[in-house]
Amino acid sequence: MAKIVLGMVASHGPLLGTPPDLWAGRVKADHQNPALCYRGKEYTFPELLAARSHENFEPDLAIEVKQKRFDATQAAIKEMARVFHEVKPDVAVVIGNDQMEIMSDDNQPMMMVYYGEKFENVPFNEAQLKRLGPGVAIAEPNHHPAQPETYPGHPELGLHLIGSLIADNFDIASSIRLPEQAESKLTGIPHAWGFFYRRVMEDQVVPNVPIFINTFYPPNRPSTKRCLDLGAAIARAVESWDNNLRVAILGSGGMSHFVVDEDFDRKFMQAFSAPTHDEMLAFPDNMFRSGTAELKCWIPVKSAMDRTPLKMTVVDYQALIRSPAGTGSGMGFAYWR
């Protein structure tokens, strides 16, 4: 039977691929965002700046502070890559979210398993580059290669997961080819998966099954409990798979962004490390909005790992703050082995 040998969760985002002296490029996006989410409320940039003025983020904006934190994230990613290559799983389940990159609001599944034989990771074409937000293009080597690459899927595991999840009372969506429409923001796999393929697997991509969770877009976002249930069901599916392969389960996204809430991030990581799910379930659902909602791609990994004897190691957490309003990204990295 198959065996789970590795779990990993990692943040992704443009700041991980942008020199700190150029982070201001993303601040332009903050000013253009009319709904910056912070602790369950939405703010314009001026409103957020006023609401958080007492927190005094000026020391966080010093170039030497930003550089130190950036360097720490790069070291953390290298450590994640080292562990991945050392464990050498045969196959992976990679959980992420689409941000209207290949999906659209005419069909947005809550949860979907891709079971195709292969899929592509393709750099942006000229038209797609023009649609990118400020400060994104510079970081795209984090997610997409310079030339199109084809990665191996794992149809056998994908179909087994679909069947097992249905038997476990999940009305799961499935796809044998990735959607592509005229208005698609990219061709091929979205950036949540591309980050793991490029930065953690370091382009040595093992056969894998991408699982999509709609964390961003109402009205059909899953609850924390449903994500916990999904992780347990994925683990049961792997445990029942009649194949002598070693499996990794990976979650891409989070932590707090596009507004950094370091207090929430640290409380979440504490709950994430706890032996029970009570603390995780206690977070109000309105805390999981905007980019912070990507943590719901981590939650299934935690639940799956709780069914194994693997031990969790938190590699690092860094608050990458890019503006006086506290915008930016909380970046966290952890693994189980």
In the chain, where the domains are located: 3-336
Compute the distance between CA of residue 41 and CA of residue 11 in angstroms, rounded to an integer. Answer: 23
The phi, psi pair for 278, rounded to 5°, reads -60, -45
Tokens standing for 3?
Answer: 């065996």
Q: Give the CB-side neighbour count of residue 58, counting CA atoms within 13 A.
A: 3
- Secondary structure (DSSP) of 167-232: HTT---EEESS----TT-S-SBS-HHHHHIIIIISTT-PPPEEEEEE--SSTTSPPPHHHHHHHHH
Which range, of 134-138, 167-171, 298-302, averages the lowest pLDDT?
A: 134-138
Q: Are 234 and 304 in contact (CB under 8 A)?
A: yes
184/159: higher pLDDT: 159
| 3-336, CATH topology level | Protocatechuate 4,5-dioxygenase; Chain B (3.40.830)
Average pLDDT over residues 273-288: 95
In the predicted model, is pLDDT for residue 317 greater than 80? yes
Q: Is 90 exceeded by the pLDDT of residue 181?
A: no
Question: Taking residues 9-28, what's their average pLDDT?
Answer: 96
pLDDT, mean of residues 53-58: 97
Residue range 272-300: average pLDDT? 96
Task: Provide the pLDDT for residue 124.
Answer: 87
Q: How far apart are the first and last CA of the chain?
A: 18
Q: How confident is the model at residue 132 (pLDDT cuts 50, 70, 90)?
A: confident
E strand or H helix that includes residue 130: helix 126-130
Q: What is the pLDDT of residue 127?
A: 82
Number of H helices, E strands in the chain: 10, 13
Q: pTM here?
A: 0.97
> Does pLDDT of 130 surpass 90?
no
pLDDT tens profile 182-211? 777 888 999 999 999 999 999 999 999 999
Higher pLDDT among residues 323 and 126, named by residue: 323
Query: CA 303, CA 183: separation in Å to the nearest integer?
Result: 35
Mean local confidence (pLDDT), 164-183:
92
- What's residue 179's pLDDT? 87
Whether the link from the prior residue into 331 is cis, omega within 30° of 0, is: no
Element holding 94 (H helix, E strand): strand 91-96
Query: What pLDDT is recorded for position 185?
Result: 80
Give me the pLDDT at residue 180, please.
Answer: 82
pLDDT averaged over every residue in the chain? 96
Q: How confident is the model at residue 223 (pLDDT cuts 50, 70, 90)?
A: very high
